[in-house]
Structure 1
Amino acid sequence: MNQRTLALIAVFIATLIYGLNYTIAKEVMPIYVKPFGFILIRVVGATIIFWILGLFFKIEKIEKSDYKTLLLASFFGVGVNMLSFFKGLSLTTPISASVMMVTSPIMVLIFSSILIRKAIGKQRIIGVIIGLMGTILLITYGNSSNTGATNSNWGNFLVFINASSYGLYLVISKKLVEKYQPITLVKWLYLLGLIFVIPFGYNELIEVDWQEMPTNIYFNIGFVVFFTTCVTYLFNLYGLSKLKPTTVSVFIYLQPVIATIYALIAGSDSLNPVKISATLLIFLGVYLVTKQVEKSTK
């Protein structure tokens, strides 16, 4: 098996984990662990794992001039990103949340044009408008009768904030990614992110009744900490080292597909015309945005 095939398999496995995560994490919240408490568990666990992994690599010293950028990247990439995602997921449904996450490439384009003055062609502008129309449709009319959604509108909006925050993080961290080894960057991102997460998650974490928690919920928490946070990062990293960024980015389309199939099998969500219409608009918008980028790259 050649390296390209292995890289494609690695990225697919990472995408599969992300797709399953929506329902697996949703089963934990908010009954057994509230969302901010869950994020604190996730960030603490990931920080420990990445710092232990760092012992086996040659770690560069972070330059003083980069700490401000690193702090901003950590705030948006770990703090705002994760807190808004899990809080939103606890209020909405897995399918709506997974569709909303696909807006990340659109937000990357918007923030790139604002922060680094990246030109936007006509096709990409149309893509942004169509994608945001789908987003607004899902936020405004994406209410679900599913019992797992206590406040779909607010939950969908928070997941959109998460996607926007992640898009901003990608733009902010671009120079850091080019300058430092991935393990160096991620261990510091999570350690600094822990500072932002503790004030929000501490009270919810101490409320957790670990003795009353079913065994399968322990498995779900472990899955999120180890697989969703750590394995996906390492697998995507391997994929990016062997494949074009545009090839890896295409896999984001699979997340809602996997999330939808698993959510329907698990009975944790259902489809309706609004979700389907919003999904098609968002997919079309992201396609137009990434298609234009790919052409200009060639």
Structure 2
Amino acid sequence: MKTPNIKWIYLLILSLIWGSSFILIKKSLLGLTAYQLGALRTILTGIILLTFGFHKLKTVETSKWKWLLISGLLGSFIPSFFFAIAETEIDSAVASILNSLVPLNTILLGFAVFKITSTKRQVLGVIIGFIGTALLILKGAELNPNQNYLYAGFVIASTVMYAANVNIVKRYLQDVKPLAIAAGNYIFIVIPAVIILFFSDFFTAETFNNPNIINALIYVTILSVFGTAIAKVVFFKLVQLSTPVFASSVTYIMPLVALGWGLLDGEAFSIVQIFAALLILVGVYLANKRKA
């Protein structure tokens, strides 16, 4: 199979997995606090990745370790808490929509900081996708006037971190095996997550007397295994196979999946949002279309 076909398959898989992550966060928060969720997600994912990927760490050059640390903080640790905090106030679908800012930030950071060039067509595609995202946000605000959009800042900050991370992986970790990158990320951030969990009142009677705690733990386990551990390895492989902009365009398709889950969960959806979703798909196409 040719590489172009493989990267599109990876993109679709990631879109389905990560698009479902937002509803899993929402359901997990019914029995956990944002800090408990972020810490548990990091710990469970770390256990999985280090169990299967620890042996890969011996292949990592010494000069790469600082980038694995930075990548772990920006691409996993901080966003896992920020998204949980954000979804205590805003809808899961809205969080996914805001996450679509990643490709725009990827291009801007790639050009300004990492000196990775982008074509005019890529820029146009990102702009069109961003317009679609803006329409989705505005309509979401209209349908959900009681949501506190100040908390959207946590998602926006995370998109900047994700954009920096994808450029770091492409520029400095291109020759490191995807499983080694993922395991290397978590070897640094598991211990801080354990400390946060300890001080989050997780190990108290109040937490375990919550009638939603069992379901919440099931949801966060699914989120950790599929939405983080497996998805991380697939994502790093996708970055290496393609470009930072192509890899980050997964955030354009994710809202469609997230909105579908939101609709099933009773969240509002409108004709304008359907139109905005189509704009997003057009943006993905243009951002990744090859020149003749």
TM above 0.5, yes or no, is yes
Question: What is the alpha-carbon distance in structure 2 between the residues aligned to residue 129 and residue 264 of structure 1?
Answer: 27
Q: Alpha carbons of 1:85 and 1:281: their partners in 2 closer, same or farther (altered >3 Å)?
A: farther
Question: What is the alpha-carbon distance in structure 1 between the residues aligned to residue 186 and residue 178 of structure 2?
Answer: 12
Aligned equivalent of 1:209, options 207, 210, 215: 207
Amino acid aligned to 1:220: Y
Overall identity of the aligned pairs, in %:
22
Deviates more, 1:93-102 or 1:280-289: 280-289
Matched residue count: 287
Describe the superposition over 1:212-244 as per-residue Cα deviations: whole angstroms up to 9, x where unpaired.
343432321211111111222344566678x75
1:195-274 equivalences under 5 Å are 197=193, 201-204=197-200, 206=202, 209-214=207-212, 215-236=214-235, 251-267=250-266, 269-272=267-270
Q: Alpha carbons of 1:276 and 1:195: their partners in 2 closer, same or farther (altered >3 Å)?
A: farther
Describe the superposition over 1:126-175 as per-residue Cα deviations: whole angstroms up to 9, x where unpaired.
5555555666666677436559x742x12333212212210111112224
**Alignment correspondent of 2:155:** 159
In structure 2, list runs of 5 or more residues that go unmatched: none
Question: What is the alpha-carbon distance in structure 2 between the residues aligned to residue 141 and residue 15 of structure 1?
Answer: 22
Question: What is the alpha-carbon distance in structure 2 between the residues aligned to residue 286 and residue 205 of structure 1?
Answer: 43
Aligned equivalent of 1:193, options 189, 192, 209: 189
Q: Alpha carbons of 1:32 and 1:251: their partners in 2 closer, same or farther (altered >3 Å)?
A: same
**Quick check: 1:100–1:160 contact (8 Å CA) kept in 2?**
yes
**Quick check: 1:20–1:258 contact (8 Å CA) kept in 2?**
yes
2:180 pairs with 1:181? no
**Quick check: 2:38–2:84 contact (8 Å CA) kept in 1?**
yes
How far is 1:42 from its partner? 0.7
Question: What is the alpha-carbon distance in structure 2 between the residues aligned to residue 74 and residue 260 of structure 1?
Answer: 28
1:78-97 equivalences under 5 Å are 78-97=76-95
Question: What is the alpha-carbon distance in structure 2 between the residues aligned to residue 8 and residue 289 of structure 1?
Answer: 13
**Quick check: 1:22–1:98 contact (8 Å CA) kept in 2?**
yes
**Quick check: 1:14–1:231 contact (8 Å CA) kept in 2?**
no
**Alignment correspondent of 1:22:** 22
Q: Alpha carbons of 1:165 and 1:235: their partners in 2 closer, same or farther (altered >3 Å)?
A: closer
**Alignment correspondent of 1:102:** 100
User: Secondary structure at the residue paired with 1:178?
Assistant: coil
How far is 1:40 from its partner? 0.5
**Quick check: 1:89–1:159 contact (8 Å CA) kept in 2?**
no
**Quick check: 1:26–1:89 contact (8 Å CA) kept in 2?**
yes
Question: What is the alpha-carbon distance in structure 1 between the residues aligned to residue 138 and residue 153 of structure 2?
Answer: 9
**Alignment correspondent of 2:33:** 34
Q: Give the CA RMSD over aligned residues.
A: 3.7
**Quick check: 2:100–2:133 contact (8 Å CA) kept in 1?**
no
Amino acid aligned to 1:265: L
Aligned equivalent of 1:66, options 64, 67, 70: 64
Amino acid aligned to 1:24: L
Q: Alpha carbons of 1:249 and 1:165: their partners in 2 closer, same or farther (altered >3 Å)?
A: closer
Amino acid aligned to 2:174: E
How far is 1:73 from its partner? 1.7
Question: What is the alpha-carbon distance in structure 2 between the residues aligned to residue 95 and residue 282 of structure 1?
Answer: 15
Amino acid aligned to 2:157: I
Describe the superposition over 1:104-126 as per-residue Cα deviations: whole angstroms up to 9, x where unpaired.
22211111111122345544455
In structure 1, list runs of 5 or more residues that go unmatched: none
Q: Alpha carbons of 1:157 and 1:272: their partners in 2 closer, same or farther (altered >3 Å)?
A: farther
Q: Alpha carbons of 1:60 and 1:257: their partners in 2 closer, same or farther (altered >3 Å)?
A: same
User: Secondary structure at the residue paired with 1:90?
Assistant: coil
